Amino acid sequence: MAKKIRDIPSINKVLEHPEIVELIHRYSLNNVSDLVRNIVSDIRKDVLAEKLEPSLQLIVSNTKNLAEEKWNYSPVAVVNATGVLIHTNLGRSSLSASAINSMSVAAGDYTNLEYDLSHGKRGSRQNFVSTLINQLTGSEASTVVNNNASAMLLALAAISSNKEVIVSRGESVEIGGGFRIPDVLKLSNAKIVEVGTTNRTYAKDYLNAVSENTGAILVVHASNFKQTGFVHSPTITELVNIGAEKGIPVIHDLGSGCFVDTTQFGLPPEPTPKESIINGVEIAMFSGDKLLGGPQCGIIAGKKDVIEKLNRHPLYRAIRIDKVNLAGLTTTLLHYIQENHLEQIPVLKMISQTESDLRMRSIHLQKSIGKSLKVVKGYSTIGGGSMPGETLPTWLLAIPGEEKSKMIFDLLRKSNPPVITRIENDMVLLDPRTVLPKYDGVLISIISKILS
C-alpha cells in the first residue's frame, strides 16, 4: 500500500504535464493548482481504499474534466432542430441581426441611456422605447421591466397592495417554472378573490364580488394551456364596463405579446395589446421574448396616470430593464414601425415559412447527406407559453435509427455545436423550420460524420 501511495505523482509533476500547462494558460496557475490538489486528494483516498491504481494520466484526465465542468462557457450556441419555435429551454426567440448589433453597441460603448442629447441633461431610459410602444399599441404611456412576471408583481404592488384583486378561478393558474398567480398576489400584499368556476365565469360573478376594498380586476390570458368544451369567459369590454361603473382598474396580463394577425399563418387569433388598449383596460402587460420576437423583458402599456404610479413605486428600480436588453427591444420594435418585421424577426420569419419552402429545404439536406435519410410530413409547434396546442405543417428530415435512435440523438446533442432534435417512431427528426439558415452547412457536416 505504501508503494502505491508513493506512486501517486507529485503536484509539481502534474502541473508540468503539457495538457495541464495548456489549462494553466487558459485559467491561471492558482486555479488549476487548486483543481489538481483536489483531484490528487480524492485519488489518494481511493488508493487507500484500494479502489484504483494511481497514474499521471488519470489525474490529468480528471483535472481536465473538472475544469470543463466548472469553467466551460455558458450559454453556448445550439442548433434548434426540435420544431419548437419559442423553445424556453433553448432561450426562446432568436433576435434579428439588427437587434443583436444594437445590443453589442450598448454593451461595448457608453450610450445616452439616461442622458438627453437634445437638452444636455439627465433623461429617462424609458422615453424613446415608450414612444414606440405607445405608437404600436395606442397606449397613453408605457414602461418596461425585466420580464412579464416582474410586470405583474409591479402592477399589483403599485395598484392593489393591501386590497382585493378579483380574478376568475379558471385564470388563477400556474405557468412555467412554478410561477403561480396566487403567489404573486400574496407577494404584492394583494388579496385574491376568486370568482366563477374553473370552466365558466360570467361578468356578473365579477360584479357581485366588488367590495369597498376591491383594488383591481385581473384578467390572465391562458397563454400556455387551453380550455375546450363547456367553457365561458366574459369579454374584456364587459369587465372594463364593470371597472368604469365601480371605479376599479382592469389589469390585463396578455402573457405572450403579439403585434401581428396570426390568422394569416393559418393560426387562431391571438389577443393583441392594441386590442386591450382600445377596449379600455388601465394597463396591459406582456412578454418581449415570445411572439414579439425581442429580448427578455416585460412591457406594460396603458393609461398615463397608472404608468406614472408604477414608475414611482420603489419596486420599479429593482426590476427595470437593463441597457443591453433595452437596445434589443428598441430595434425589434422599430422593425414593426418599418413594417419589415416578417422578414427581419426570426420567430415571425419561421412562422411565415411555407410548406413548399420547408420541403425543398429538407430535400436539399437529405440529398447533401444521403445515408438513406427520409423526408416526412410533420408539425411544428409555437411553444414558449404561446398558442398552446396549435401547430404548423412542416416537412422533417428523418434519420431512421430503430434501436440506434437514442445513440444518434445523443451524438447530435454532444456535437459541436450541439444539435437538439426529437425522437418519434424510432426516428430522429429534424425540423428545418427552427434551424437558422446559417446552420444548414453545419448540420450536413455533423450528420454526415455521425452516420459514417
Q: Using one digit for the tens of pLDDT, what is the confidence trace for 385-417?
A: 677 778 899 999 999 877 889 999 999 999 999
Confidence of residue 179 (pLDDT cuts 50, 70, 90): low
pLDDT of residue 256: 85
The CATH number of residue 252's host domain is: 3.40.640.10
Same domain for 353 and 235: no
Last residue of a domain, one of 38, 71, 104: 71
CA dihedral 163, 167, 173, 179 (to 10 degrees): -30
Output the average pLDDT for the chain: 91
Q: Do residue 47 and residue 176 come from a single domain?
A: no
pLDDT exceeding 70 applies to what percent of the chain? 95
Task: Identify whether residues 240 and 287 lie together within a single domain.
Answer: yes
- For 135-160, the pLDDT digits (tens) are 999 999 999 999 998 999 999 999 99
Both 38 and 105 in one domain: the answer is no
In the chain, the number of structural domains is 3
Q: pTM for the whole thing?
A: 0.89
Q: Which of 344, 362, 378 is the C-terminal boundary of a domain?
A: 344
Q: Is the alpha carbon torsion for 281, 285, 290, 295 positive or negative?
A: positive
Confidence category of residue 188, pLDDT binned at 50, 70, 90: confident
Residue 388 belongs to domain with CATH number:
3.90.1150.180
Instruction: Verify that 303 and 405 share a domain, yes or no.
Output: no
pLDDT at residue 224, rounded to an integer: 57
Does residue 169 sit in the same domain as residue 241?
yes
Mean pLDDT computed over 367-396: 87
Q: Given pLDDT bands bounded at 50, 70 and 90, which one contains residue 55?
A: confident
* 3-state DSSP of the chain: CHHHHHCCCCHHHHHCCHHHHHHHHHHCHHHHHHHHHHHHHHHHHHHHCCCCCCCHHHHHHHHHHHHHHHHCCCCCCCEECCCECCCHHHCCCCCCHHHHHHHHHHHHCCCCCCEECCCCEECCCCHHHHHHHHHHHCCCEEEEECCHHHHHHHHHHHHHCCCEEEEEHHHCCEEHHHEEHHHHHHHCCCEEEEECCCCECCHHHHHHHCCCCEEEEEEECCCCCCCCCCCECCCHHHHHHHHHHHCCCEEEEEEECCCCCHHHHCCCCCCCHHHHHHHCCCEEEEECCCCCCCCCCEEEEECHHHHHHHHHCHHHHHHECCHHHHHHHHHHHHHHHCCCHHHHCHHHHHHCCCHHHHHHHHHHHHHHHCCCCEEEEEEEEEECCEEEEEEEEEEEEEEECHHHHHHHHHHHHCCCCCEECEEECCEEEECHHHCCHHHHHHHHHHHHHHHC
Q: Do 242 and 353 belong together in one domain?
A: no
Domain that holds residue 397: 79-88+347-451
Task: Looking at the structure, tell me whether residues 103 and 116 fall in a common domain.
Answer: yes
Angle at 203 between CA 202 and CA 206, to 5 degrees: 100
